[in-house]
Structure 1
Amino acid sequence: MNDPSAEHVLIAYATTDGHTRRICERLKQVMESLGRQVTVVLLSDASALDLRGFGRVLIGASIRYGHHQPIVAEFIKQHQALLESRPSAFFSVNIVARKPNKNTPETNPYCRKFLKSISWQPRLTAVFAGKLDYPSYGFVDRQMIRLIMLITKGPTDPKAVLEFTDWARVEAFGREFCALTA
């Protein structure tokens, strides 16, 4: 490629408890192993960058109480033309994706709802199961998440720390994203 920026990837993310950042860091490792230069940044800091300097853009966002953070849709709306002008993708991180019948963009209710709510249609999408870390949550969040888990037949032990992320799927997504053509 003649344009060095075509090999520069921006991974911009929104996270609540930090697990989405871990996923972004793993994606960065995969992409760097494929010769890409990768910048990982919070979505709240991404608008301060000159986004035209990136040949690819990947947006990742976690779910809390059924919703992505508002900044995700705001960033997409503000930069939609740029996202549509180059290979770009989106991934969602949520605990519901721990279930085999809810772990794809087509079957995950939160990802489907979000993609219907925005006008940008990413060229590639993924859903990854996140991490449940009861001890790190405040009292109210811990109780609310335990109630949600009770209703959805998930783990409710308040001492439980469970990572549901399929790292092989994360790595495969990183390779697939790098293979997108302009």
Structure 2
Amino acid sequence: MKLLVGYATTEGQSRKIARHVADRLADAGHMVELLSLTDGEGLALDRFDRAVLVASIHAGQYRKELTSFAQDNALWLRRQPVLFLSVSLAAAGHESEDWRGLDRIVEDFAEVTGWTPDRAEQVAGAYRPSEYDLFKRFIMRRIIATKDPGADLDTDREYTDWPALDALVDDWIVG
């Protein structure tokens, strides 16, 4: 099977997740193309049987390149099996209000793009204070202090559950 794994990333965790998924699918014997959606314009999608799209949420929305890609390719995306992995720190928590908010973001995205993912999954991202500017570090520290009270606010931490992600991808590819 020929698969597209496309991603839109802000700080690199979505790219890391996309690479992990692409490697897993390739190891399972599939032909995989990993693509930053910043390079997705004019891509010949008809050569792919399925797709995995990975994108981070920041300030309540996805990156513009994902939105543009979905708008431009909504017809193809509706015809093919697509796994949409939505990456955020909110997905690391267990608060129902946060999860409802994540669902609303996916719904808003679908309304704007004209494409509703047939399978959308929330994936926990990463906290990287070592890479943030002063303003972002301040905001992110407040978020992490609330979501993970025991966290060291000066240390980078990955919240992605890799075994759960592997199980999710394995389930999707056989389904």
TM-score category, normalised to shorter length: 0.7 to 0.9
> 8 Å contact 1:149–1:155 — kept in the other structure?
no
Q: Cα offset for 1:174?
A: 1.5
The number of aligned residues is 171
Bigger mean CA offset, 139-148 vs 125-134: 139-148
User: Is residue 86 of structure 2 the alignment partner of residue 92 of structure 1?
Assistant: yes
> 8 Å contact 1:146–1:155 — kept in the other structure?
no
> 8 Å contact 2:124–2:159 — kept in the other structure?
yes
> What amino acid sits opposite 1:46 in the alignment?
G
Q: Cα offset for 1:21?
A: 1.0
User: Is residue 51 of structure 2 the alignment partner of residue 18 of structure 1?
Assistant: no
Alignment equivalent of 2:120, drawn from 125, 132, 138: 125
> What amino acid sits opposite 1:136 in the alignment?
E
User: Is residue 166 of structure 2 the alignment partner of residue 171 of structure 1?
Assistant: yes
Provide the TM-score with structure 2 as the length reference: 0.87
Distance 2:33 2:15 in 1: 12
Distance 1:33 1:130 in 2: 23
Q: Cα offset for 1:111?
A: 4.0
Provide the TM-score with structure 1 as the length reference: 0.84
Q: State the partner residue of 2:107.
A: 115
Q: Cα offset for 1:150?
A: 3.8
Q: Cα offset for 1:88?
A: 1.2
2:117 alignment partner, SS class: coil
Distance 1:108 1:130 in 2: 17
* Aligned-residue RMSD, C-alpha: 2.1
> 8 Å contact 1:67–1:110 — kept in the other structure?
no
Q: State the partner residue of 2:135.
A: 140
Point out where structure 1 has 5 or more consecutive residues left out of the alignment: 1-6
List per-residue Cα deviations over 1:72-121 (Å, max 9, x = no partner). Answer: 2221111010011111121111011111346xxx9352243223431322
User: Is residue 58 of structure 2 the alignment partner of residue 58 of structure 1?
Assistant: no
